[in-house]
């Protein structure tokens, strides 16, 4: 696999025009699924559509023969954790997974609770020259859950929404004030739905497996309580609320009903919660220790149902890199989290191959869906839009190998899993930044 570093000087002149021919064009925003092509001019899409280039290709365009493979908008990953300030490694993992736009949680160092940090994240990502990174702003200063940050000001600097990363807002009165404040600016509040007091000291989902393994557990009620509390607060305040990585049937049921009632509530999930259950922990496999924890098979099936009926709006990688020393510990002491950008597309495509949803709907949850939630100019084929594209083979089989991931951290819960669907090329602003070795 080759990671290609884009030019840094006068990129539009160097990029020129490219004609992507003989492609299966897929645009989840419009439902387009047809054989055709895309013409890029510098950093933008200048034209696209079915039957393009059947007669001729512009003489000055570089021809890229897609050989009938899928060509779609680049993926938009709405939840990643930045590992330190290593934007280059993060970018390599992202583009290898077909991700052209990613949104990072505010639990960076320093925390994204100040306008200067928002600007730093955007500047550092541009300098790395790979994936486009947008930041979430912290809901509370220092992510401490006490003093509300200047959300309106952070939004002016470029924060796309607000989150306290992997910690729920503990105090109901604080959360109510957050939703009221955010509603005056039309801002989205993203909650990590897990009651800290119920989750404290827990290592995995409560149930027979935890009992058999002798591990301290986290009841699913920890998620459900926060979801139900915050739905009531959102109903009271009119705030715009989003739940991250939903993992339980009861939470999905509550969100489904809130949507039926017309509330401004959305949610996402991550691939582990529809493709794995608590059995993946096996004999204390710490790569499968996640937050929220892997749930029961009944919950996994419920997540799939939530995806199928539209209760769940997006799928995010929940990419959480951990140093090897943090994972190679007894299960109860090991850190939570798994890397996920390079497996995001392939694991989501399991929903397609297993007949749960169609390909357009799967891509919608990975591109136009999250882009629309966050108001990003991404995730769709459109004349004049950024030429951010992913070329992939929907049927190509491969096996996940943690040692060969581009991410510096290797803590994937999908290690050694056979999957189907492979990214062949990733294009950002008209530049090929990743190409799979043939």
What span, in angstroms and rounded, lies between the C-alpha atoms of 96 and 398?
A: 14
Map residue 148 onto helix, strand or coil.
Answer: strand
State the catalytic residue, choosing from 33, 195, 268, 318. Answer: 318
Q: Express as a percent the part of the chain with pLDDT over 70.
A: 96
Give the model's pLDDT for residue 438: 66
Q: What is the pTM of this model?
A: 0.96
Please, are residues 246 and 268 in contact by the beta-carbon 8 Å criterion? yes
Residue 50 has pLDDT above 60, yes or no: yes
Does domain 2-71+387-395+421-435 correspond to CATH entry 2.30.40.10?
Answer: yes
Structure confidence by residue, pLDDT tens digits, 290-336: 999 999 999 999 999 999 999 999 999 999 999 999 999 999 999 99
Residue 236 has pLDDT above 60, yes or no: yes
Give the model's pLDDT for residue 88: 85
Lowest mean pLDDT among 12-21, 75-84, 89-98, 164-173: 12-21
Domain boundaries, the chain: 2-71+387-395+421-435, 73-374
What span, in angstroms and rounded, lies between the C-alpha atoms of 215 and 321?
A: 23
What is the C-alpha end-to-end distance of the chain, expressed in Å?
A: 8
CATH of 73-374, one of 3.40.50.970, 3.20.20.140, 3.40.50.20, 3.20.20.370: 3.20.20.140
| Reported confidence tier of residue 80, pLDDT bands at 50, 70, 90 | very high
What span, in angstroms and rounded, lies between the C-alpha atoms of 391 and 381?
A: 13
Please, are residues 164 and 143 in contact by the beta-carbon 8 Å criterion? yes
Residue 83 has pLDDT above 80, yes or no: no
| Reported confidence tier of residue 55, pLDDT bands at 50, 70, 90 | confident
Give me the mean pLDDT over the 375-384 stretch.
97
Give the model's pLDDT for residue 14: 64
Residue 2 has pLDDT above 50, yes or no: no
Residue 8 has pLDDT above 90, yes or no: no
Give me the mean pLDDT over the 17-23 stretch.
97
The dihedral over CA atoms of 349, 350, 351, 357, expressed in degrees to the nearest 10, equals 50
What span, in angstroms and rounded, lies between the C-alpha atoms of 372 and 388?
A: 16
Give the model's pLDDT for residue 129: 81
Give the model's pLDDT for residue 126: 81
Residue 418 has pLDDT above 80, yes or no: yes
Residue 6 has pLDDT above 50, yes or no: no
Active-site residue flag, 318: yes
CA distances from 168 to 164, 172, 230, 427 (A): 7, 10, 10, 36
| Reported confidence tier of residue 177, pLDDT bands at 50, 70, 90 | very high
Nearest to 400 by CA among 326, 350, 347: 347
What span, in angstroms and rounded, lies between the C-alpha atoms of 353 and 297?
A: 19
CA distances from 42 to 21, 350, 361 (A): 17, 34, 29
Beta bridge partners of 72: 390
H or E, element range at 370: helix 368-374
Give the model's pLDDT for residue 7: 38
Structure confidence by residue, pLDDT tens digits, 337-349: 999 999 999 999 9
Residue 156 has pLDDT above 90, yes or no: yes
Of the CA atoms within 13 Å of residue 234, those in its CB half-sphere come to: 27
Structure confidence by residue, pLDDT tens digits, 244-286: 999 999 999 999 999 999 999 999 999 999 999 999 999 999 9
CA angle 369, 40, 19 (to 5 degrees): 115
């Amino acid at each position: 696999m080759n990671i290609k570093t884009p030019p840094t000087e006068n990129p539009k002149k160097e990029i020129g025009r490219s004609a992507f021919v003989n492609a299966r064009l897929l645009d989840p925003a419009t439902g387009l699924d047809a054989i055709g092509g895309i013409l890029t001019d510098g950093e933008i899409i200048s034209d696209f559509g079915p039957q393009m280039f059947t007669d001729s290709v512009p003489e000055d365009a570089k021809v890229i023969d897609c050989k009938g493979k899928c060509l779609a908008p680049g993926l938009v990953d709405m939840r990643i954790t930045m590992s330190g300030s290593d934007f280059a490694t993060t970018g390599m993992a992202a583009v290898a997974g077909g991700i052209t736009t990613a949104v990072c949680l505010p639990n960076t160092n320093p925390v994204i609770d100040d306008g200067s940090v928002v600007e730093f994240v955007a500047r550092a990502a541009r300098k790395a020259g790979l994936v486009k990174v947008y930041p979430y702003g912290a809901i509370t200063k220092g992510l401490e859950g006490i003093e509300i940050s200047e959300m309106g000001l952070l939004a002016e600097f470029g924060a796309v929404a607000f989150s306290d990363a992997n910690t729920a807002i503990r105090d109901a009165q604080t959360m109510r004030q957050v939703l009221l404040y955010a509603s005056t600016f039309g801002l989205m509040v993203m909650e990590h739905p897990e009651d800290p007091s119920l989750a404290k000291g827990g290592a995995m989902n409560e149930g027979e497996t935890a009992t058999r393994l002798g591990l301290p557990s986290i009841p699913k009620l920890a998620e459900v309580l926060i979801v139900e509390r915050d739905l009531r607060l959102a109903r009271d305040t009119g705030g715009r609320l989003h739940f991250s990585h939903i993992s339980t049937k009861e939470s999905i049921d509550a969100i489904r009903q809130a949507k039926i009632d017309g509330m401004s509530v959305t949610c996402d999930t991550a691939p582990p919660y529809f493709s794995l259950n608590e059995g993946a922990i096996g004999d204390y496999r710490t790569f499968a220790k996640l937050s929220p924890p892997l749930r029961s098979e009944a919950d996994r099936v419920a997540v799939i149902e939530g995806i199928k009926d539209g209760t769940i709006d997006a799928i995010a990688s929940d990419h959480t890199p951990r140093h090897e020393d943090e994972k190679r510990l007894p299960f109860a002491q090991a850190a939570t989290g798994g890397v996920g950008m390079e497996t995001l597309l392939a694991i989501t495509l399991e929903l397609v191959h297993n007949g749960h949803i169609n390909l357009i709907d799967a891509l919608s949850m990975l591109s136009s869906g999250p882009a629309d939630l966050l108001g990003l100019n991404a995730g769709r084929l459109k004349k004049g839009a950024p030429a951010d594209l992913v070329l992939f083979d929907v049927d190509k089989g491969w096996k996940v190998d943690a040692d060969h991931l581009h991410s510096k951290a290797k803590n994937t819960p999908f290690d050694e899993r056979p999957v189907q669907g492979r990214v062949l090329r990733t294009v950002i602003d008209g530049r090929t930044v990743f190409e799979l070795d043939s």
